[in-house]
Amino acid sequence: MKKKILKFAQLCIEQNKDIVQSKLVIQNFGNVSIRFDADHFLIKPSGVNLNKIKANDVPLINIKNGKKVFGKLKPSSDTETHLEIYNKYSDIKSITHTHSTYATGWAQSGKAIPLLGTTHADFWKNEIPITEFISKKEIEKNYERYTGKIIIKTLIKKKLNAYNCPGILVMGHGPFAWSKKIDGSTKNAEALEFIAKLAFISDQLKIKKKIPNHISRKHYNRKHGKKAYYGQ
């Protein structure tokens, strides 16, 4: 069992390095977690130099009670946000939180990212949604846990399936992305940032016509539908 944990822990380290190399985060911002099994996930340790840590430093967290059961270092301060999402969606295998420039800009503007083109539609079926602000009362109770709860609340309120909506903006804060694949959430976080940048540019250029629904649906379904065939 320990050998398997260390293997997954090394994957977690590498994926956290990926978001740095992709320039989705600066300094010690951001975190990636991966599900180990039905009841546990591994997450980036808090405030570390990723080039200096080892697999047995990476915290393994029990999804049911939030307790660390393996790993020498303290888990990320955002651990309870990840825990809430894993608890709610059993098929999610990885979660990435960044402070990437354009996606965070949209989050700070209080605006969802509108579906403007086929690149967006290749990943999200609809707009990339944004939560409301977390209340003062919720922050005083448990800020990180209620960040997870407001993400879930927003998806439910908007009648969105988390598996068709692989990421969201937390108002005033930044993006969270997830995936049914262990190596998928970092890719979705990268896509979210690229889409956010395209949407910003499109908005600056003044959008003449909104993409027709039949085109955006085609792009989503050819990649994610029952008869998906798209690949590059």
In a domain, 122, yes or no: yes
Q: Quick check: is 122 catalytic?
A: yes
CATH number for position 60: 3.40.225.10
Q: 9-52, pLDDT tens digit by residue?
A: 999 999 999 999 999 998 889 999 999 999 999 999 998 999 99
| pLDDT tens string 192-226 | 999 999 999 999 999 888 888 898 887 877 877 77
Give the separation between CA 130 and CA 110, rounded to whole angstroms.
Answer: 7
* Residue 106 structural domain: 2-224
Domain assignment present for residue 231? The answer is no
In a domain, residue 232? The reply is: no
Kindly state the tokens that stand for 99.
Answer: 């402070």
Q: DSSP state, 98?
A: -
Q: Which of 18, 57, 122, 183 is catalytic?
A: 122
Active site residue 183: no
Q: How many domains does the chain have?
A: 1
For the chain, the average pLDDT equals: 93
104: nearest Cα among 188, 18, 24, 217: 24
Asked whether residue 229 is domain-assigned, the answer is: no
Handedness of CA 98, 92, 109, 138 (dihedral sign): negative
The pLDDT of residue 138 is 92
